[in-house]
Amino acid sequence: MAPSPKRSVLGILSIILLILSGYVLTKLSSQVSSNNLFYLTLMAGTIFSFNIPILFAWAAFGIVGGLSISIFSILIVLLFNLRMGISVYFIFTLSFFITIFLAWSIWRIKNELISSYILKLEKLDEEINILSNDISQKKSSIYSLEEKLMRYSLLKEVSESLSTVLSLEEINRLIVDRALKILGKIGRALLFLVDVEKQELMLFSSKDDSKVRAKKGDAFDRWVLRNRKTLMIEDVAKDFRFPANAIEESKHIFKSLIATPLISENKVIGILRVDSPIESMYVQDDLRLLDIVADLGAVAIQNALLYSRTQELAIKDSLTGLFVRRYFIERFKEEVKRAARKKDELSLLILDIDHFKDYNDRFGHLSGDLMLRHLSRTINSMLIEGDLVARYGGEEIVILLCGRNKKQAIAEAEEIRKVIKNKPLMLRRHETRTTVSIGLSSYPEDALIEEEMIRIADERLYKAKTGGRDRVCVN
């Protein structure tokens, strides 16, 4: 290691002073007698001046350099002593021991100071490192807490949003949107709901830049549905719980995923899943958050289904599943206004089961209910989107054919009558068939307001009944 500038200067001064002291001592020894007190004192001072370069040498060169300069000084003074006599030798000896002692003391003090300084520096460095690590850990903890706070704030927002929405479609969209936002990671979110009748998954909502291939879920979604528990995969290609073909199909779309079931009333009603094209994207904390979102979503979905069912019960007949009379009248009025505004046409059919009382008397009232359900399903299967069908009262059913004139309505009414007549129903192991009578009125040909259309259709139904039944009456 290169010496410091201060040590270099001290070394040069030491050599210069040593040469100068030796030169002065040589000149004095050649000119004076050893018995002259003044010169003896002057020479003693000159000898003592050797202490200065020796001290500088110890400070500049350390123990090796200091001893070297000390020995060199001893030789110079020894030669002078041999020349001048014993008295000067005594002065030199005293001077030498004082110099060595001072040099050793200074060197020892310097080393102790340096060692102490180094220890303090090391301790300070250690404390700095400890404080740095502590600060780093604190920063990491603060960041983690801030992230958790942000996530739980988002969860609170999700809870509030879901509690104010009753539309199933809107709830599904909120769930997938908020799931990705809370996790804050690259990937897609998929929400599957269970089809109760088919007992299979159906994709209801997704937040994804790429096309979703498996509309009914894949092996991973079915695993969650079957096992009723969460799933976390760090690398799809290395997870041997699933069939090789499922892994092969999936690894080109995503590498890692987390999924959790939506459970309501101890039943799995859906699957919430988030996956990513990057390996090991998710950690356990992400899965816990997704599970919370799924729990909130399950409650919201169940509430939406209950609300929808309540609304449906309010406007639909519990026996036949057809609209109730009150709702039908409201919709009928709206459709008449729409037809008047757009100069469109529509037709009304009032249908009544022939000899319905005979079925109840012969097979019981339960058989009458079965007959009404049978007719309701048959009629519903023949109508198109936009048509309305309702239970008008007892065994009467009303049908509103939107966008059809009288001629078209007559053809459809005849088709309905024929299909019902030829479609059998098993009642108490007896194959039973029934017929219906239909009264028909049209807008604007027969009437311009709904009350008048209903009155005319009802009158024509009565004509069909009194005219022999099993017919359509249009006049």
* Cβ–Cβ under 8 Å, residues 263 and 228: yes
Please provide residue 47's backbone torsions phi and psi, each rounded to the nearest 5 degrees.
-60, -45
Q: Is the pLDDT at 90 greater than 60, yes or no?
A: no
Tokens at 19, concatenated: 């040469």
pLDDT of residue 118: 81
What domains can be seen in the chain, in order of their start residue? Answer: 5-125 (no CATH), 168-313 (3.30.450.40), 325-473 (3.30.70.270)
Rounded-to-integer distance, Cα 48 and Cα 43, Å: 8
pLDDT digits (tens, 9 = 90+) for 282-307: 999 899 888 988 988 888 888 888 88
**89 — pLDDT class (breaks 50, 70, 90):** very low
* Separation of alpha carbons 269 and 351, rounded Å: 39
DSSP 8-state assignment for residue 2: P
Greater model confidence, 103 or 202: 202
DSSP state of 188: E
Q: What is the pTM of this model?
A: 0.51
Strands 472-473 and 436-443: parallel
pLDDT attached to residue 183? 85
294-308, 360-374, 383-397: the lowest-pLDDT one = 360-374
Specify whether the CB–CB gap between 333 and 408 falls below 8 A.
Answer: no
Burial 225-251 (b: 16+ CB within 10 A, else e): beeeebbbbeebeebeebeeebbeebe
Nearest residue to 452 via CA among 376, 348, 365, 352:
348
Asked whether residue 19 carries a pLDDT value surpassing 80, the answer given is no
φ, ψ of residue 145 in degrees (nearest 5): -65, -40
Instruction: Please answer whether residues 188 and 216 qualify as being in contact, where contact means their C-beta atoms are separated by less than 8 angstroms.
Output: no
Between the CA of residue 68 and those of 6, 58, 71, 85, what are the distances in Å? Answer: 20, 9, 5, 25
On the CB side of 44, how many CA atoms lie within 13 Å of its CA? 18
Q: What average pLDDT does range 391-396 have in this prediction?
A: 88
Residue 313 is given by DSSP the state H
Determine contact, residues 225/271, Cβ cutoff 8 Å: yes
Provide the residue count of the chain. Answer: 475
Bridge partners (DSSP) listed for residue 393: 396
What residues form DSSP beta bridges with 203? Answer: 192
The two structure tokens encoding residue 236: 């799809």
- Residue 132 neighbours by CB under 8 Å, 6+ apart: none
Distance CA 253, CA 208 (A): 11
pLDDT higher than 60, residue 349:
yes
C-alpha 200 chain-centroid distance: 26
Helices (H), 85-199: 86-163, 168-183
Q: Work out the number of other CB atoms within 10 angstroms of the CB of residue 174.
A: 22
Q: Are 127 and 133 in contact (CB under 8 A)?
A: no
Spell out the long-range contacts of 195-204 with Cβ–Cβ below 8 A and sequence spacing 24 or more. 201/225, 201/270, 201/271, 204/172, 204/270
pLDDT at 276 over 60: yes
How many CB atoms within 10 Å of residue 370?
Answer: 19
261 exposure class (CB count in 10 Å sphere: 0-12, 13-18, 19+)? buried
> What whole-number distance in Å separates Cα of residue 322 and Cα of residue 223?
38
Point out the least confidently predicted range of 29-38, 109-118, 225-234, 253-262: 29-38
**Cβ proximity of 300 and 270 under 8 Å:** no
Q: What is the DSSP code (8-state) at residue 423?
A: S
Q: Which amino acid is at 69?
A: I
Percent of the chain past pLDDT 90, that is, above it, reads 34
The per-residue pLDDT for 86 is 47
CB 263 within 8 A of CB 298: yes
**Measured CA distances, 368 to 257, 317, 355, 364, 417 (Å):** 54, 15, 11, 7, 18
For residue 82, count CB atoms less than 10 angstroms from its CB and return exposed for 0-12, middle for 13-18, buried for 19 or more.
exposed
Is residue 251 within 8 Å of 243, Cβ to Cβ?
A: no
Handedness of CA 423, 425, 431, 433 (dihedral sign): negative
Q: What does the pLDDT read at residue 459?
A: 95
Phi-psi region of 217 (alpha: psi -120 to 50; beta: other; left: phi over 0): left
Q: How confident is the model at residue 6 (pLDDT cuts 50, 70, 90)?
A: low
